[in-house]
Amino acid sequence: MTPVVDLRSDTVTKPTPEMRAAIAAAEVGDDVLGDDPTVNALQERCAALLGKEAALFVPSGSMANQVAIRAVTEPGDELIIDETTHSYNYETAGPAALSGCSVRLLAGVRGVFTAEQVAAAVRPENAHFPHSRMVIVENTNNRGGGSVWPAPRVAEVRAAADRFGLHLHMDGARLMNACVAARCRPTDYTQHVHTVSMCFSKGLGAPVGSIVAGPKPFITRAHRFRKMFGGAMRQAGILAAAALYALDHHVERLAEDHAHARRLAEAIAELPGIRLDPATVETNIVLFDVEPSLATAADFVARLRAHGVWMLPTPPQRVRAVTHLDVSSAGIDRAIAAFQSVCRGR
Protein backbone atom coordinates (compact mmCIF):
# COMPACT_ATOMS: atom_id res chain seq x y z
CA MET A 1 0.00 0.00 0.00
CA THR A 2 1.24 3.46 -0.84
CA PRO A 3 1.29 5.84 2.09
CA VAL A 4 -1.68 8.00 2.87
CA VAL A 5 -1.50 11.79 2.67
CA ASP A 6 -3.44 12.83 5.73
CA LEU A 7 -4.67 16.41 5.32
CA ARG A 8 -7.58 16.12 7.77
CA SER A 9 -5.91 18.26 10.42
CA ASP A 10 -2.56 19.39 11.79
CA THR A 11 -3.48 17.43 14.93
CA VAL A 12 -2.63 14.12 13.20
CA THR A 13 1.14 14.65 13.44
CA LYS A 14 3.07 11.99 15.32
CA PRO A 15 6.02 12.82 17.56
CA THR A 16 9.30 12.58 15.65
CA PRO A 17 12.09 10.26 16.90
CA GLU A 18 13.93 13.34 18.24
CA MET A 19 10.81 14.53 20.09
CA ARG A 20 10.37 11.04 21.53
CA ALA A 21 13.97 11.17 22.74
CA ALA A 22 13.24 14.50 24.48
CA ILE A 23 10.15 12.91 26.06
CA ALA A 24 12.17 9.92 27.27
CA ALA A 25 14.83 12.15 28.80
CA ALA A 26 12.39 14.49 30.61
CA GLU A 27 12.78 15.05 34.33
CA VAL A 28 9.40 14.76 35.99
CA GLY A 29 7.62 15.22 39.31
CA ASP A 30 4.07 15.57 40.61
CA ASP A 31 2.78 18.71 38.92
CA VAL A 32 -0.29 18.87 41.17
CA LEU A 33 2.19 19.45 43.98
CA GLY A 34 4.10 21.92 41.76
CA ASP A 35 7.07 19.53 41.53
CA ASP A 36 7.46 18.87 37.83
CA PRO A 37 10.59 20.73 36.69
CA THR A 38 9.84 20.30 32.98
CA VAL A 39 6.28 21.62 33.32
CA ASN A 40 7.63 24.54 35.35
CA ALA A 41 10.27 25.23 32.69
CA LEU A 42 7.65 25.17 29.93
CA GLN A 43 5.34 27.52 31.84
CA GLU A 44 8.18 29.99 32.49
CA ARG A 45 9.35 29.83 28.91
CA CYS A 46 5.84 30.43 27.56
CA ALA A 47 5.18 33.30 29.95
CA ALA A 48 8.33 34.99 28.59
CA LEU A 49 7.59 34.08 24.96
CA LEU A 50 4.07 35.48 25.24
CA GLY A 51 5.07 38.50 27.35
CA LYS A 52 2.84 37.58 30.31
CA GLU A 53 3.45 37.26 34.06
CA ALA A 54 2.59 33.59 34.24
CA ALA A 55 1.43 30.59 32.23
CA LEU A 56 -0.35 27.30 32.87
CA PHE A 57 0.05 23.99 31.02
CA VAL A 58 -3.31 22.34 30.24
CA PRO A 59 -4.27 19.13 28.41
CA SER A 60 -6.03 20.75 25.42
CA GLY A 61 -6.78 23.96 23.61
CA SER A 62 -10.42 23.65 24.55
CA MET A 63 -9.51 23.50 28.22
CA ALA A 64 -7.20 26.50 27.80
CA ASN A 65 -10.09 28.54 26.41
CA GLN A 66 -12.64 27.26 28.89
CA VAL A 67 -10.52 27.88 32.00
CA ALA A 68 -9.84 31.37 30.63
CA ILE A 69 -13.55 32.03 30.13
CA ARG A 70 -14.40 30.61 33.55
CA ALA A 71 -11.63 32.64 35.21
CA VAL A 72 -12.86 36.02 33.96
CA THR A 73 -16.64 35.68 33.86
CA GLU A 74 -19.54 34.93 36.16
CA PRO A 75 -22.85 33.29 35.25
CA GLY A 76 -25.02 35.72 33.31
CA ASP A 77 -22.09 37.37 31.55
CA GLU A 78 -21.84 37.49 27.78
CA LEU A 79 -18.96 36.83 25.40
CA ILE A 80 -18.51 38.87 22.24
CA ILE A 81 -17.03 36.54 19.64
CA ASP A 82 -17.06 35.86 15.94
CA GLU A 83 -19.57 33.32 14.60
CA THR A 84 -16.66 31.15 13.39
CA THR A 85 -15.03 30.95 16.84
CA HIS A 86 -13.74 27.56 17.98
CA SER A 87 -14.88 28.14 21.56
CA TYR A 88 -18.43 28.63 20.24
CA ASN A 89 -18.58 25.94 17.52
CA TYR A 90 -16.32 23.13 18.68
CA GLU A 91 -16.18 23.18 22.46
CA THR A 92 -19.57 21.55 23.12
CA ALA A 93 -21.23 24.76 24.35
CA GLY A 94 -18.54 25.04 27.03
CA PRO A 95 -19.18 28.74 27.70
CA ALA A 96 -22.82 27.93 28.57
CA ALA A 97 -22.21 24.63 30.34
CA LEU A 98 -19.09 25.49 32.32
CA SER A 99 -19.34 29.25 32.84
CA GLY A 100 -23.05 30.07 32.46
CA CYS A 101 -22.28 32.61 29.73
CA SER A 102 -24.27 33.58 26.68
CA VAL A 103 -22.56 34.58 23.46
CA ARG A 104 -23.10 37.52 21.13
CA LEU A 105 -21.89 36.62 17.67
CA LEU A 106 -20.15 38.92 15.23
CA ALA A 107 -19.95 38.40 11.48
CA GLY A 108 -16.31 39.11 10.70
CA VAL A 109 -14.41 38.54 7.48
CA ARG A 110 -13.12 34.98 7.77
CA GLY A 111 -13.21 35.41 11.53
CA VAL A 112 -11.52 38.82 11.65
CA PHE A 113 -13.81 41.55 13.00
CA THR A 114 -13.48 45.26 13.75
CA ALA A 115 -13.43 47.40 16.88
CA GLU A 116 -16.66 49.03 15.64
CA GLN A 117 -18.38 45.64 15.55
CA VAL A 118 -17.29 45.02 19.14
CA ALA A 119 -18.51 48.43 20.28
CA ALA A 120 -21.89 47.88 18.58
CA ALA A 121 -22.30 44.51 20.33
CA VAL A 122 -21.71 45.79 23.87
CA ARG A 123 -24.88 45.73 25.97
CA PRO A 124 -25.92 48.93 27.69
CA GLU A 125 -26.11 48.78 31.48
CA ASN A 126 -29.67 47.66 32.16
CA ALA A 127 -31.16 45.09 34.54
CA HIS A 128 -32.64 43.20 31.57
CA PHE A 129 -29.39 42.56 29.75
CA PRO A 130 -26.45 40.19 30.14
CA HIS A 131 -23.19 41.83 31.18
CA SER A 132 -20.81 42.11 28.24
CA ARG A 133 -17.61 40.81 29.75
CA MET A 134 -15.13 39.23 27.36
CA VAL A 135 -14.00 39.38 23.73
CA ILE A 136 -12.13 36.53 22.06
CA VAL A 137 -10.03 36.92 18.93
CA GLU A 138 -8.92 33.71 17.27
CA ASN A 139 -5.53 33.89 15.55
CA THR A 140 -5.22 32.19 13.18
CA ASN A 141 -8.92 31.65 12.68
CA ASN A 142 -9.63 27.98 12.06
CA ARG A 143 -13.11 27.94 10.51
CA GLY A 144 -12.25 31.10 8.59
CA GLY A 145 -9.53 29.13 6.80
CA GLY A 146 -6.37 29.91 8.79
CA SER A 147 -6.81 33.66 8.43
CA VAL A 148 -4.27 35.90 10.15
CA TRP A 149 -5.24 38.87 12.33
CA PRO A 150 -3.23 42.00 11.54
CA ALA A 151 -1.63 43.10 14.85
CA PRO A 152 -2.93 46.71 14.46
CA ARG A 153 -6.48 45.33 14.25
CA VAL A 154 -5.96 43.49 17.54
CA ALA A 155 -4.76 46.80 19.03
CA GLU A 156 -7.96 48.51 17.84
CA VAL A 157 -10.12 45.78 19.33
CA ARG A 158 -8.19 46.17 22.61
CA ALA A 159 -8.89 49.91 22.63
CA ALA A 160 -12.60 49.17 22.24
CA ALA A 161 -12.40 46.51 24.97
CA ASP A 162 -10.75 49.03 27.31
CA ARG A 163 -13.42 51.61 26.56
CA PHE A 164 -16.12 49.20 27.76
CA GLY A 165 -14.16 47.40 30.49
CA LEU A 166 -14.02 44.10 28.59
CA HIS A 167 -11.43 41.36 28.92
CA LEU A 168 -9.65 40.50 25.65
CA HIS A 169 -8.52 36.90 25.17
CA MET A 170 -6.65 35.56 22.15
CA ASP A 171 -7.30 31.97 21.17
CA GLY A 172 -3.87 31.49 19.66
CA ALA A 173 -4.17 27.75 19.07
CA ARG A 174 -2.19 28.49 15.89
CA LEU A 175 -0.52 31.69 17.06
CA MET A 176 2.85 30.53 15.75
CA ASN A 177 1.37 30.05 12.28
CA ALA A 178 0.15 33.65 12.47
CA CYS A 179 3.58 34.90 13.59
CA VAL A 180 5.42 33.02 10.86
CA ALA A 181 2.97 34.25 8.20
CA ALA A 182 2.98 37.86 9.45
CA ARG A 183 6.73 37.75 10.15
CA CYS A 184 6.25 39.07 13.66
CA ARG A 185 6.93 38.09 17.26
CA PRO A 186 4.23 36.59 19.48
CA THR A 187 4.41 39.69 21.67
CA ASP A 188 3.51 41.89 18.68
CA TYR A 189 0.09 40.30 19.17
CA THR A 190 -0.02 39.41 22.83
CA GLN A 191 0.89 42.90 24.08
CA HIS A 192 -2.65 43.83 23.03
CA VAL A 193 -4.51 41.05 24.85
CA HIS A 194 -5.02 40.34 28.54
CA THR A 195 -4.72 36.59 28.13
CA VAL A 196 -3.72 34.14 25.40
CA SER A 197 -3.83 30.42 24.73
CA MET A 198 -1.71 28.38 22.33
CA CYS A 199 -1.70 24.69 21.25
CA PHE A 200 1.37 22.44 21.02
CA SER A 201 -0.58 19.59 19.45
CA LYS A 202 -1.43 21.32 16.17
CA GLY A 203 1.23 22.48 13.72
CA LEU A 204 3.91 22.40 16.40
CA GLY A 205 3.67 18.62 16.30
CA ALA A 206 3.57 17.68 20.01
CA PRO A 207 1.24 14.85 21.05
CA VAL A 208 -0.70 16.67 23.79
CA GLY A 209 -1.04 20.03 25.45
CA SER A 210 -1.72 23.73 25.35
CA ILE A 211 -0.69 26.77 27.34
CA VAL A 212 -2.73 29.64 28.71
CA ALA A 213 -0.92 32.81 29.78
CA GLY A 214 -1.79 36.09 31.47
CA PRO A 215 -1.46 38.12 34.68
CA LYS A 216 -0.70 36.19 37.90
CA PRO A 217 -4.14 36.59 39.51
CA PHE A 218 -5.72 35.27 36.30
CA ILE A 219 -3.40 32.25 36.26
CA THR A 220 -4.20 31.56 39.94
CA ARG A 221 -7.88 31.35 39.04
CA ALA A 222 -7.22 29.40 35.84
CA HIS A 223 -5.19 26.91 37.93
CA ARG A 224 -8.17 26.41 40.24
CA PHE A 225 -10.54 25.81 37.32
CA ARG A 226 -8.09 23.50 35.59
CA LYS A 227 -8.38 21.34 38.71
CA MET A 228 -12.17 21.65 38.74
CA PHE A 229 -12.42 20.66 35.08
CA GLY A 230 -10.25 17.59 35.66
CA GLY A 231 -7.19 18.89 33.87
CA ALA A 232 -4.59 18.72 36.63
CA MET A 233 -1.96 16.16 35.62
CA ARG A 234 0.81 14.47 37.58
CA GLN A 235 4.10 13.61 35.82
CA ALA A 236 3.14 15.86 32.92
CA GLY A 237 6.80 16.68 32.25
CA ILE A 238 6.85 13.98 29.57
CA LEU A 239 4.29 16.10 27.69
CA ALA A 240 5.91 19.42 28.52
CA ALA A 241 9.22 18.07 27.16
CA ALA A 242 7.56 17.51 23.79
CA ALA A 243 6.19 21.06 23.85
CA LEU A 244 9.62 22.49 24.68
CA TYR A 245 11.14 20.45 21.87
CA ALA A 246 8.46 21.80 19.52
CA LEU A 247 9.21 25.41 20.47
CA ASP A 248 12.90 24.81 19.72
CA HIS A 249 12.52 22.91 16.46
CA HIS A 250 9.08 23.23 14.91
CA VAL A 251 8.28 26.94 14.74
CA GLU A 252 10.26 28.26 11.75
CA ARG A 253 9.41 25.19 9.72
CA LEU A 254 5.74 26.23 9.72
CA ALA A 255 6.70 28.34 6.68
CA GLU A 256 7.07 25.06 4.79
CA ASP A 257 3.48 24.06 5.69
CA HIS A 258 2.27 27.46 4.49
CA ALA A 259 4.12 27.06 1.18
CA HIS A 260 2.61 23.59 0.75
CA ALA A 261 -0.89 24.91 1.42
CA ARG A 262 -0.37 27.71 -1.08
CA ARG A 263 0.93 25.32 -3.76
CA LEU A 264 -2.00 22.96 -3.23
CA ALA A 265 -4.49 25.84 -3.38
CA GLU A 266 -3.04 27.29 -6.57
CA ALA A 267 -3.06 23.91 -8.29
CA ILE A 268 -6.62 22.91 -7.37
CA ALA A 269 -8.21 26.36 -7.83
CA GLU A 270 -7.95 25.87 -11.58
CA LEU A 271 -9.75 22.55 -11.66
CA PRO A 272 -13.36 22.17 -12.83
CA GLY A 273 -15.80 21.84 -9.93
CA ILE A 274 -13.60 23.52 -7.30
CA ARG A 275 -14.36 26.96 -5.90
CA LEU A 276 -11.35 28.48 -4.21
CA ASP A 277 -9.55 31.81 -4.17
CA PRO A 278 -5.90 30.98 -3.43
CA ALA A 279 -5.41 34.49 -2.04
CA THR A 280 -7.46 33.41 0.99
CA VAL A 281 -4.86 30.77 1.88
CA GLU A 282 -2.63 32.63 4.34
CA THR A 283 -1.29 29.80 6.50
CA ASN A 284 -1.68 26.01 6.58
CA ILE A 285 -5.44 25.64 6.03
CA VAL A 286 -7.05 25.30 2.60
CA LEU A 287 -10.84 25.68 2.55
CA PHE A 288 -12.70 25.17 -0.69
CA ASP A 289 -16.19 24.43 -1.96
CA VAL A 290 -17.09 21.61 -4.31
CA GLU A 291 -19.67 22.56 -6.94
CA PRO A 292 -22.84 20.52 -6.43
CA SER A 293 -22.73 19.44 -10.09
CA LEU A 294 -19.46 17.61 -9.31
CA ALA A 295 -20.20 16.07 -5.91
CA THR A 296 -21.19 16.72 -2.32
CA ALA A 297 -18.34 17.43 0.04
CA ALA A 298 -18.72 13.96 1.57
CA ASP A 299 -18.65 12.21 -1.85
CA PHE A 300 -15.72 14.27 -3.00
CA VAL A 301 -13.76 13.41 0.14
CA ALA A 302 -14.60 9.71 -0.32
CA ARG A 303 -13.29 9.82 -3.90
CA LEU A 304 -10.05 11.49 -2.81
CA ARG A 305 -9.68 8.89 -0.10
CA ALA A 306 -9.70 6.16 -2.74
CA HIS A 307 -6.49 7.84 -3.98
CA GLY A 308 -4.94 7.75 -0.50
CA VAL A 309 -5.59 11.45 0.18
CA TRP A 310 -7.60 12.26 3.29
CA MET A 311 -9.50 15.49 4.05
CA LEU A 312 -12.46 16.53 6.19
CA PRO A 313 -15.84 17.46 4.66
CA THR A 314 -18.07 20.17 6.14
CA PRO A 315 -21.45 19.37 4.59
CA PRO A 316 -22.94 20.18 2.27
CA GLN A 317 -20.18 21.52 -0.02
CA ARG A 318 -17.14 22.64 1.97
CA VAL A 319 -13.90 20.70 2.36
CA ARG A 320 -10.87 21.42 4.54
CA ALA A 321 -7.28 20.40 3.90
CA VAL A 322 -4.57 21.18 6.44
CA THR A 323 -0.83 20.90 5.86
CA HIS A 324 1.58 19.97 8.64
CA LEU A 325 4.88 18.41 9.68
CA ASP A 326 3.97 14.95 8.41
CA VAL A 327 3.05 16.11 4.88
CA SER A 328 6.02 16.28 2.51
CA SER A 329 6.32 18.06 -0.80
CA ALA A 330 5.81 14.66 -2.48
CA GLY A 331 2.60 14.31 -0.47
CA ILE A 332 1.36 17.59 -1.93
CA ASP A 333 2.21 16.34 -5.44
CA ARG A 334 0.21 13.24 -4.76
CA ALA A 335 -2.74 15.25 -3.41
CA ILE A 336 -2.72 17.46 -6.52
CA ALA A 337 -2.68 14.39 -8.78
CA ALA A 338 -5.63 12.94 -6.84
CA PHE A 339 -7.61 16.17 -7.30
CA GLN A 340 -6.85 16.20 -11.02
CA SER A 341 -8.11 12.70 -11.45
CA VAL A 342 -11.27 13.20 -9.32
CA CYS A 343 -12.20 16.57 -10.87
CA ARG A 344 -11.61 15.40 -14.41
CA GLY A 345 -13.39 12.09 -13.79
CA ARG A 346 -10.38 9.96 -14.54
Ligand X SMILES: *Cc1c(COP(=O)(O)O)cnc(C)c1O
Residues in the site for ligand X, rule: CB under 6 A?
Answer: 60-62, 65, 86, 138, 142, 171, 173, 199, 201-202, 210
Q: Which is nearer to ligand X, 166 or 204 (CB)?
A: 204
Q: Which is nearer to ligand X, 206 or 295 (CB)?
A: 206
Least distance (Å) from ligand X to the CB of residue 289?
20
Least distance (Å) from ligand X to the CB of residue 212?
11
Contact 60, 200 (CB under 8 A): no
Q: How many CA atoms lie within 13 A of 5 on its CB side?
A: 24
**For the chain, how many residues are written?**
346
Least distance (Å) from ligand X to the CB of residue 87?
7
Q: Which is nearer to ligand X, 39 or 122 (CB)?
A: 39
Q: Which is nearer to ligand X, 170 or 332 (CB)?
A: 170
3-state DSSP assignment of residue 158: helix
Contact 157, 150 (CB under 8 A): no
Least distance (Å) from ligand X to the CB of residue 95?
13
Bond prior to 140 in cis (omega within 30° of 0) = yes
Q: Which is nearer to ligand X, 88 or 300 (CB)?
A: 88
Buried b (16+ CB within 10 A) or exposed e, 281-319: bbbbbbbbbbeeebbebeebbebbeebbbbbebeeebbb
Handedness of CA 246, 249, 252, 256 (dihedral sign): negative
Least distance (Å) from ligand X to the CB of residue 91?
7
φ, ψ (nearest 5 deg) of residue 154: -65, -40
Q: Which is nearer to ligand X, 31 or 91 (CB)?
A: 91
